[in-house]
Amino acid sequence: MLAAVRNNKSAAVLSRAMPFLFSATATATANTHPLFPSPHCQNPSPADRLPLPARRLPRFPAGTPRAPSLPLPPKRGMASLAVSAAAAAAAEVTHLTQREAAEIDEQLMGPLGFSVDQLMELAGLSVAEAVAEVYKLSEHARVLVICGPGNNGGDGLVAARHLHHFGYRPSVCYPKRTPKPLYSGLVTQLESLFIPFISAEDLLSDLSREFDIIVDAMFGFSFHGTPRPPFDDLIQRLVSLSVIENSDKKAAIVSVDIPSGWHVEEGVVDGGGIKPDMLVSLTAPKLCAKKFTGPHHFLGGRFVPPPIINKYGLQLPPYPGTSMCVRIGKAPSVDISSLRENYISPELLESQVKFDPFDQFLQWFDEAVSSGLREPNAMALTTVNKEGKPSSRMVLLKGVDKQGFVWYTNYGSRKAHDLSENPSAALLFYWNEMNRQVRVEGTVEKVPEEESDKYFHSRPRGSQLGAIVSKQSTVITGREVLQQAYKELEQKYSDGSLIPKPEYWGGYRLTPTLFEFWQGQQSRLHDRLQYSQREVDGSTAWHIERLSP
């Protein structure tokens, strides 16, 4: 991370704001790397969501054990890749010269109060998050982190630790260990996790045979001269990987801040350097990043304070959600036909599921809640009008019991019109992080008025006013129409008086006739268990069948 060391005995400071940091006093082997975030975290306030009604949707009282949840892959930022890429590409991102990067590191490590271990931790976490954002754990679990002797290597050590906790299987090649306590401590941390250290001599010539990802954390922007053994050979191995065109056989190369061996401002001088698939710039991209042609360019950090932003006129993208990294540059071109996920999940067996599909649903729903999924009660509702035209939209489940699934809406909406003409509908719950879907089909009817009224008045007052203002699915001339109507209603009920539920708003209940529980599995051999109603001895019972995936 920060790699400029002050000689003053009382001010021994690594001046490297992350992967690259250069100072006139840095040694030839020192690495530095700048890491920083956007000047301000723009996390929009979450949409107004009501807590789910007690018991209808399971809740967990304090001290009550929750249902066991399945292990989840590392969480991503709230914004998708496409969203974060679009946001970053919308504005020009500042690229730093070597001198500017060194000055920023010195200020961060001096008057702005950062320590090298803080910056190194942020840098390594940013690298690990960027890797997890792009390279699926199910397909790229084997990671080799090649660490140099300076701060860039320290970033790699930290990244290896975080990747291990994300579920990846990292190994570390650290040929020239730095004896300082900070680096020795990082090595001890990895050894305590039983992360293997591999010597350069023991690595196979073809790294792709053993690893899916190679993290290049050898040299930062303050490195000078020609790489010495064994780093010269290691760099050439990564150069050799770059010429393999078949991506299925090639390990992905991830470079930290700059590709090792590149000139910090001019890039690859002779055209024969490393060509990484991913570059994780830290603090801000260096000028050499303009020569980067790989598909994935991320910015890591998220801590640069306003004094640095203002002094250097930095243009930095907003970071999505709580993520420490953000995609910058144009989004990569994608072959849609090649997008696929090889699901890894526990088997869903007939002997393990509940006899009653409502009980099975509640068990899965409990596990989705316990796993911390965002809006596990979100469901796709599909309706069909009298002409047979289907339409789908996302709604929020607000109650479930043995009588059915309940949601609320405007009775003048398109879905309401469809249901008035054809009361048959379908629901779909999709819990991506758990590789699960639940489909429910059945007939729909309105819930009793008193039930709708009770729920309406349990909502925040803002949501109540919004339900009155919105004549759902009707055409309006602009957003200001809604805003003005809302403001007038807000003033009308500013005394805190009861807001009457509009007659055109209320709930629906779908009574199921069919359930399907889907669990994703490897090689597309998914588990699908269907519950359908059958007549048995004069009464209706649920019958379980396995469907071919």
Q: Which DSSP helix (H) or strand (E) runs through 258?
A: none
Q: Is 154 within any annotated ligand binding site?
A: yes
Q: Is 260 within any annotated ligand binding site?
A: yes
Pick the catalytic residue: 524, 528, 534, 546? 524
Two structure tokens written together for 248:
């299925």
Two structure tokens written together for 245:
């065109």
Q: Is 225 within any annotated ligand binding site?
A: yes
Q: What DSSP string describes 333-366?
A: P--GGG-----------TTTS-SSHHHHHHHHHH
Q: Is 220 within any annotated ligand binding site?
A: yes
Q: Is 197 within any annotated ligand binding site?
A: no
Per DSSP, helices labelled H in 135-197 are: 151-166, 181-192
Strand partners, 430: 437
Q: Give the up-direction half-sphere exposure of residue 424: CA atoms within 13 A in the CB hemisphere.
A: 9
Contact 5, 30 (CB under 8 A): yes
Q: Is 223 within any annotated ligand binding site?
A: yes
Q: Is 151 within any annotated ligand binding site?
A: yes
> What's the rounded Cα separation, in Å, for the pair 275 and 289?
11
Our measurement of the distance from residue 251's CA atom to the centroid of its chain's CA atoms, rounded to an integer in Å, reads 22
User: In 10 A of CB 37, how many CB atoms?
Assistant: 24
b/e 262-293 (16+ beta carbons within 10 angstroms → b): bbbbebbeeeebbbbbbbbbbbbbbbbbeebe
Two structure tokens written together for 252:
């992905």
Q: Is 171 within any annotated ligand binding site?
A: no
Q: Is 532 within any annotated ligand binding site?
A: no
Q: Is 370 within any annotated ligand binding site?
A: no
Q: Is 155 within any annotated ligand binding site?
A: yes
Q: Is 166 within any annotated ligand binding site?
A: no
Q: Rounded to 5 degrees, what are φ and ψ at 445? A: -145, 160
Q: Is 7 within any annotated ligand binding site?
A: no
Q: Is 385 within any annotated ligand binding site?
A: no
> What's the rounded Cα separation, in Å, for the pair 22 and 221?
7
Q: Is 263 within any annotated ligand binding site?
A: no
| Catalytic-residue membership of 169 | no
User: In 10 A of CB 66, how many CB atoms?
Assistant: 12
> What's the rounded Cα separation, in Å, for the pair 298 and 300?
6
Q: Which residues are annotated as a binding site for K(+)?
A: 152, 216, 260
Q: Which residues are annotated as a binding site?
A: 151-155, 216, 220-226, 257, 260
Q: Could you give the residue numbers annotated as active site?
A: 524
Q: Which residues are annotated as a binding site for (6S)-NADPHX?
A: 151-155, 220-226, 257
